[in-house]
């Protein structure tokens, strides 16, 4: 028998299947990991097939050396998923397979954890211990408990008594595997009586198919998800529940743990290596039945899936933005299809693409238009910041926002202030000569962080001394750019010196549990103001938040991206959704410099449908997705000449493709990327826009043109989330 093996080396040259002979004594199955000889080395590989014949010559073929684990680590469904992903996203087999395993397992660094327990041997006589009081107590304890942790016995009765009993062979030690628990909670499960809207939503989810649950913020989607999962568990099937990484707050995790207990496995980035490994194993063995996690939990080795749920389905983070690039929703569709189970996509602001699919009937639409607390959504007031400037207020905050903040503070309630930029100010620039502080390794301006008085690159993390003088002309007239979270906090401190003001962004949450700490502190302080980036926009459910301030909503609007208006609408709705979630009504102050943009009219009325209609018409006219596909091929390399020449040869081949499909290719051009250097790598790109007709075929041909770029790293994206 022969094994088809994929070598675990992520290089283009080894992205093939190699045949090996299976020695007679070795029992192999599809999905196992093995050691194989490769050239003069021994490498790890995955067995993806077992077969009777091979085309390799009998005396040239080499033997599989050994298996790494004695069970298949990659289950059949995932092997099929690998094939699908390689085709759909143009990925290498190894890089896909690696997604399916915890890195800890591949590197062999983490071991299972065992605990020593003491149990009684069969033959002993208590009479022998009349004079050894402690030893007798140990025996009695073991008689009533069967087994006790060795460490606990030693602590309770002392080392020598325990040792004595071991030596006399009265007790013996056994090893038991223990699971590292990523999360301990003491939250009570909240009993919720479903309202009619929720009941209807639950009944609408059928045996299979894709469902879009469009429910306003606070409509009680979480309860719907949990009931759907409970139903599936009753049928003895399993569930996957995905939540964006930044919404995976302790609050959210606890809600699921409280309801489903040990049946839940958690997979997210703040687990330690050991914890992730153990959770993965619990899923693999079938012990855990509900997987709750971020994007990569879609690869969980769980079988008999009865439902897959993606919360906040519109979130950008469901697309992996580094290699290997994949779109989580597509993978969820594959797995739902494979398991004949429903896929539920939930959001208060569905992506335009998915809502379009729902109006076409490919996806079934379920609506929850009312908040569970029966209260209206918070009123959104649009504040024209140009007016403020005309009235002589050039500060960060409008008069309205300041007076609303004062009210909140008086009433001992809470406010959240959203600003989509961390740091103090976005750049430092010389007023005399125009010098702009930039990162040496990346082509981006540096962000000033006042706390440590340094300039930081948000692309590579490199830090520089802050400017007091212009290094170019020596002038000390240094200008600071647009504000960030740090500056907002500083200003608020000046205005409300006695109020607790907390900050939550990438800088304040880098330590483990710091996220949790900030939220806990906020939740227990009244009045208080929480200032933050995207991180505060989602998932939080604080009863006493009655005011949300959005500092400059325009930020997300002026990116050169066809989705920027959509993103802006989503952001306003999500952030606004944090206010007025319990019995207290909420309000939102939205500051903008372009108040007449259509997105604000629709967003402030919570008119998703109106927004969608406008947006989809614009996209259709301009032939943007979902009415076309945008393909970006990004080349990068340390050596600029290498990138340029590989880009050029790719482009020349693409010209032939364009000739062949002249009517279907709307646009094609090669250029420097907007950020032309990151971490010293030069970045060039080709952008192509194609009609949907024949698009898969054309996409494949376009991809084939990238094959000769061997030195540059090539990143192939369809409808990229980010064009920088």
Residues making contact with ligand ADP (CB under 6 A): 190, 192-195, 198, 215, 217-223, 372-373, 541, 581
Q: How far is the CB of 220 from ligand ADP (least distance, A)?
A: 3
Does residue number 475 form part of the binding site for Zn ion (CB under 5 A)? yes
Question: Smaller CB distance to ligand ADP: residue 192 or 230?
Answer: 192
Question: Smaller CB distance to Zn ion: residue 439 or 548?
Answer: 439
CA distance 253 to 241: 11
DSSP 26: -
Q: How far is the CB of 458 from Zn ion (least distance, A)?
A: 8
349 is in the binding site of which of Zn ion, ligand ADP, none (Cβ under 5 to 8 A by kind)? none
CA distance 319 to 632: 15
Pairing mode, strands 665-678 and 681-691: antiparallel
Question: Smaller CB distance to Zn ion: residue 439 or 718?
Answer: 439
Selection from 324, 326, 322, 323 nearest residue 334 by Cα: 326
Q: How far is the CB of 685 from Zn ion (least distance, A)?
A: 19
CA distance 152 to 577: 49
Q: How far is the CB of 190 from ligand ADP (least distance, A)?
A: 6
Q: How far is the CB of 602 from ligand ADP (least distance, A)?
A: 19
Q: How far is the CB of 310 from ligand ADP (least distance, A)?
A: 13
Q: How far is the CB of 577 from ligand ADP (least distance, A)?
A: 6
Does residue number 666 form part of the binding site for Zn ion (CB under 5 A)? no
Q: How far is the CB of 50 from Zn ion (least distance, A)?
A: 48
Let me know: does 629 contact 619? Beta carbons within 8 Å. no
189 is in the binding site of which of ligand ADP, Zn ion, none (Cβ under 5 to 8 A by kind)? none
* The token pair that represents 60 in the structure block: 């040239």
217 is in the binding site of which of Zn ion, ligand ADP, none (Cβ under 5 to 8 A by kind)? ligand ADP
Q: Applying CB under 5 A, which of residues 407, 462, 517, 601 lies at the interface with Zn ion?
A: 462
Helix (H), strand (E), coil (C) string for 618-655: HHHHHCCCCCEEEEEEEEEECCHHHHHHHHHHHHHHHH
Question: Smaller CB distance to Zn ion: residue 460 or 668?
Answer: 460
Determine the size of the site formed for Zn ion (CB under 5 A): 15
Print the binding letters for residues 223-262 with Zn ion: x by CB under 5 A, - otherwise: ----------------------------------------
Q: How far is the CB of 308 from ligand ADP (least distance, A)?
A: 17
CA distance 160 to 165: 9
Listing DSSP states for 249-304 in one string gives: -HHHHHHHHHHHGGGEEEE-TTS-HHHHHHHHHHHHTT---EEEESGGGGG----S
Q: How far is the CB of 82 from ligand ADP (least distance, A)?
A: 33
Neighbours of 145 (CB within 10 A): 13
Q: How far is the CB of 436 from Zn ion (least distance, A)?
A: 10
221 is in the binding site of which of ligand ADP, Zn ion, none (Cβ under 5 to 8 A by kind)? ligand ADP
CA distance 48 to 32: 8
Let me know: does 344 contact 228? Beta carbons within 8 Å. yes
Print the binding letters for residues 379-418 with Zn ion: x by CB under 5 A, - otherwise: ----------------------------------------
470 is in the binding site of which of Zn ion, ligand ADP, none (Cβ under 5 to 8 A by kind)? Zn ion
Does residue number 460 form part of the binding site for Zn ion (CB under 5 A)? yes
Q: Which of residues 411-440 bind Zn ion (CB under 5 A)?
A: 430, 432-433, 435, 439
170 is in the binding site of which of ligand ADP, Zn ion, none (Cβ under 5 to 8 A by kind)? none
473 is in the binding site of which of Zn ion, ligand ADP, none (Cβ under 5 to 8 A by kind)? Zn ion
- The half-sphere exposure of 609 on its side-chain side, counting CA atoms within 13 A, is 7
Pairing mode, strands 18-21 and 342-347: unpaired
Does residue number 441 form part of the binding site for Zn ion (CB under 5 A)? yes
192 is in the binding site of which of Zn ion, ligand ADP, none (Cβ under 5 to 8 A by kind)? ligand ADP
439 is in the binding site of which of ligand ADP, Zn ion, none (Cβ under 5 to 8 A by kind)? Zn ion
CA distance 15 to 98: 13
**688, burial (CB in 10 Å: exposed 0-12, middle 13-18, buried 19+):** buried
Which residue in this structure is represented by tokens 């240094």?
478
Let me know: does 119 contact 174? Beta carbons within 8 Å. yes
166 is in the binding site of which of ligand ADP, Zn ion, none (Cβ under 5 to 8 A by kind)? none
Q: How far is the CB of 194 from ligand ADP (least distance, A)?
A: 5
Which residue in this structure is represented by tokens 């007798």?
136
Q: Applying CB under 5 A, which of residues 103, 473, 655, 671 lies at the interface with Zn ion?
A: 473
Does residue number 680 form part of the binding site for Zn ion (CB under 5 A)? no
CA distance 566 to 268: 27
541 is in the binding site of which of ligand ADP, Zn ion, none (Cβ under 5 to 8 A by kind)? ligand ADP
DSSP 484: -
Question: Smaller CB distance to Zn ion: residue 103 or 433?
Answer: 433
* The token pair that represents 545 in the structure block: 């938040």
CA distance 295 to 314: 13
Question: Smaller CB distance to ligand ADP: residue 377 or 633?
Answer: 377
Beta strands in 362-475 (DSSP E): 364-368, 379-384, 414-418, 428-430, 447-449, 454-456, 463-465
Instruction: Note if the bond before 626 is cis, omega within 30 degrees.
Output: yes
460 is in the binding site of which of ligand ADP, Zn ion, none (Cβ under 5 to 8 A by kind)? Zn ion
441 is in the binding site of which of ligand ADP, Zn ion, none (Cβ under 5 to 8 A by kind)? Zn ion
Question: Smaller CB distance to ligand ADP: residue 364 or 375?
Answer: 375
111 is in the binding site of which of Zn ion, ligand ADP, none (Cβ under 5 to 8 A by kind)? none
Alpha carbon of 672 to those of 489, 648, 669, 683: distances in Å?
Answer: 37, 12, 10, 6
Phi, psi (5° rounding) for residue 27? -95, 110
Question: Smaller CB distance to ligand ADP: residue 574 or 592?
Answer: 574
Q: How far is the CB of 350 from Zn ion (least distance, A)?
A: 35
Contacts 24+ apart (CB under 8 A), 468-471: 470/430, 470/432, 470/433, 470/435, 471/435
Question: Smaller CB distance to ligand ADP: residue 224 or 305?
Answer: 224
Q: Site residues (CB under 5 A) for Zn ion? A: 430, 432-433, 435, 439, 441-442, 457, 459-460, 462, 470, 472-473, 475
């Amino acid at each position: 028998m022969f094994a088809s093996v994929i070598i675990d080396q992520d290089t283009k040259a080894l992205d093939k299947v190699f045949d090996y002979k299976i020695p007679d004594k070795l029992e192999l199955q599809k999905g196992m990991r093995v050691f194989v000889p490769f050239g003069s080395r021994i490498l790890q590989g995955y067995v993806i097939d077992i077969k009777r014949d091979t085309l390799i010559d009998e005396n040239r073929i080499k033997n599989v050396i050994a298996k790494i684990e004695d069970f298949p680590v990659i289950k059949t469904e995932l092997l099929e998923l690998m094939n699908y992903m390689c085709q759909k996203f143009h990925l290498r087999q190894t890089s896909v397979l690696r997604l399916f395993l915890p890195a800890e397992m591949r590197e062999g660094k983490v071991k299972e954890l065992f605990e020593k327990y003491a149990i009684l041997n069969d033959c002993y006589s208590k009479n022998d211990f009349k004079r050894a009081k402690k030893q007798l107590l140990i025996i009695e304890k073991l008689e009533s408990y069967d087994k006790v942790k060795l460490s606990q016995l030693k602590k309770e009765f002392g080392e020598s008594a325990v040792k004595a009993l071991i030596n006399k062979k009265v007790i013996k030690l056994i090893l038991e595997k223990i699971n590292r628990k990523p999360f301990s909670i003491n939250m009570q499960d909240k009993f919720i009586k479903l309202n009619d809207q929720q009941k209807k939503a639950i009944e609408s989810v059928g045996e299979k198919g894709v469902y879009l649950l469009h429910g306003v913020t606070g409509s009680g989607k979480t309860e719907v998800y949990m009931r759907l999962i409970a139903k599936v568990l009753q049928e003895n099937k399993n569930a996957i529940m995905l939540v964006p990484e930044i919404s995976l707050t302790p609050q959210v995790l606890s809600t699921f743990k409280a309801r489903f207990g040990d049946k839940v496995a958690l997979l997210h980035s703040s687990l330690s290596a050991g914890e992730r490994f153990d959770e993965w194993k619990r899923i693999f063995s079938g012990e855990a039945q509900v997987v709750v996690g971020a994007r990569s939990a879609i690869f969980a080795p769980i079988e008999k899936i009865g439902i897959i749920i993606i919360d906040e389905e519109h979130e950008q983070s469901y697309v992996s933005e580094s290699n290997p690039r994949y779109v989580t929703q597509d993978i969820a569709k594959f797995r739902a299809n494979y398991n004949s189970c429903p896929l539920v996509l939930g959001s208060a602001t569905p992506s335009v693409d998915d809502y379009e699919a729902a109006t076409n009937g490919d996806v079934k639409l379920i609506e929850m238009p009312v908040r569970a607390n029966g209260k209206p959504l918070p009123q959104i007031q649009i504040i024209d910041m140009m007016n403020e400037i005309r009235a002589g207020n050039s500060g960060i905050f409008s008069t309205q926002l300041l007076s609303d903040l004062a009210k909140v503070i008086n009433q001992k309630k809470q406010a959240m202030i959203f600003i989509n930029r961390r740091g103090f100010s976005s750049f430092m620039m010389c007023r005399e000569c125009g010098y702009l502080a930039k990162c040496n390794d990346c082509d981006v301006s540096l962000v000033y962080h006042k706390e440590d008085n340094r300039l930081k690159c948000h692309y590579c993390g490199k830090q520089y001394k802050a400017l007091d003088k212009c290094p170019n002309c020596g002038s000390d007239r240094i200008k600071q750019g647009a504000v960030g979270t740090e500056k907002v906090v500083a200003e608020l401190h000046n205005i409300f010196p006695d109020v607790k003001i907390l900050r939550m962004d990438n800088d304040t949450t880098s330590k483990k549990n710091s996220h949790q700490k900030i939220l806990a502190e906020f939740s227990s302080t009244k009045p208080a103001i929480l200032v933050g980036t995207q991180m505060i926009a989602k998932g939080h459910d604080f009863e006493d938040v009655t005011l949300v301030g959005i500092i400059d909503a325009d930020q997300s609007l002026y990116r050169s991206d066809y989705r920027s208006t959509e993103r802006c609408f989503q952001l306003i709705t999500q952030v606004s959704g944090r206010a007025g979630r319990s019995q207290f009504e909420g309000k939102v102050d939205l500051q903008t410099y372009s108040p007449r943009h259509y997105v604000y009219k629709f967003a402030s009325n919570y008119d998703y449908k109106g927004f969608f209609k406008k947006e989809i018409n614009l996209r259709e006219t301009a032939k943007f997705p979902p009415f076309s596909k945008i393909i970006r091929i990004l080349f990068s390399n340390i050596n600029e000449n290498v990138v340029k020449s590989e880009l050029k040869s790719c482009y020349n081949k693409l010209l032939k493709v364009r000739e062949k499909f002249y009517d279907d290719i709307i646009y094609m051009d090669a250029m420097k990327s907007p950020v032309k250097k990151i971490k010293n790598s030069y970045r060039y790109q080709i952008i192509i826009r194609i009609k949907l007709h024949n698009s898969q075929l054309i996409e494949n041909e376009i991809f084939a043109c990238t094959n000769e770029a061997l030195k540059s790293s090539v990143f192939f994206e369809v409808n990229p989330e980010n064009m920088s």
